[in-house]
Amino acid sequence: MPPEWHPHESTWLAWPKNRETWPGRVGRVQALFLEMMRLLASGERIDLLVDHREQEEDVRSRLDPATRRRVRFHRIPTGDAWIRDYGPNFLIRSGGEQAAAGFNQWRFNAWGGRYPELAVDGDVPNRLAPLLSMPRFRPGLVLEGGAIDVDGQGVVLASGTCLLNPNRNPGRSRKEVEDALRSHLGACRTIWLGDGLPGDDTDGHVDNLARFVRPDTIACAVDEDSSQPHHRKLKDNRRRLALARRPDGRRYRILTLPLPSPRETGLIGLPASYLNFYVANRLVLVPGFGCPQDETARTTLQELFPRRRAVSLNCRDLIRGLGGIHCVTLQQPQVLRC
């Protein structure tokens, strides 16, 4: 599995419409998707899942002509928009005659059975398989895409509170899970993170806590306010990262991003995090929440990805559904031939 900054063939999205996820805010979330699509279209194709012809026609009518030309529509119904977690996990083998692509179809049980009505989205990779026309692998493990992050050098950040949770993979030992990650992601080393943010209904996805930004650098969330309930948990995750070793034995460079202030944003109890950014071909889409930390996060990510434009997007409505930009995007890497 290549890192997110590897060139993309496409970004996959699923059109948001679930009124239970965003009560009274679906229209605003759809407006955010239209803006994301406009931005992404400057550098890559967009593959969008829609439920039916009427929905496709509605979205088409709301796109500007330049964006519309870069969007491929697929009439594949979904329960919700969190395609990062239930969509295919793309793989590549690059170089010369052997250049090829494939995907993993992990099991999806709606975040440990928390939302049984959304377990139907686990069938999306089956529906996509004829369109993708590439080898498919079935690891037999419950894994959401937001529970892992990779550096492209054989190291994976993984959420122990998800992958080792009895509500995901009962009876599976840590070694068994690591063996599966080695076999199906090409991961020679796993860095396990601990507890997630309060309000995170995923049991602690990595993409709210820590992300690779370069093979030798990891960005992680911190909160210096010791009165906050998650202060100790984030401090523990930072300690784990500081103790981790790269494949060559050296330590990682650890950079920190603050959390948005829940009091200033009015997002108390919601898992708002700047680590939920998305690296596209020409852009880094950065969550914004209407507080001073927004610009700190954007400028930090701009410095980390100088060849891309870091754009802050207002995610105050999106986060009401307990997810962010990274949760609703899924990169399909480009196969690079020599």
Residues with active-site annotation: 327
Task: Please identify which residue in the block is written with the tokens 């020679």.
Answer: 188
Whether the CB-CB separation of 312 and 298 falls below 8 Å is answered with yes
Whether the CB-CB separation of 49 and 124 falls below 8 Å is answered with yes
User: Cα dist. 184→25, 38, 91, 99, 202 in Å?
Assistant: 38, 33, 9, 17, 22
Please state the three-class secondary structure of the chain as a single string: CCCCCCCEEEEEEECCCCCCCCCCCHHHHHHHHHHHHHHHCCCCEEEEEECCHHHHHHHHHHCCHHHHCCEEEEECCCCCCCHHHHCCEEEEECCHHHCEEEEECCECCHHHHCCHHHHHHHHHHHHHHHHHCCCEECCCCECCHHHEEECCCCEEEEEHHHHCCCCCCCCCCHHHHHHHHHHHHCCCEEEEECCCCCCCCCCCCHHHCEEEEECCEEEEEECCCCCCCCHHHHHHHHHHHHHCECCCCCECEEEEEECCCHHHHCCCCCCCCCCCCEECCCEEEEEECCCCHHHHHHHHHHHHCCCCEEEEEECCCHHHHCCCCHHHCEEEECCCCC
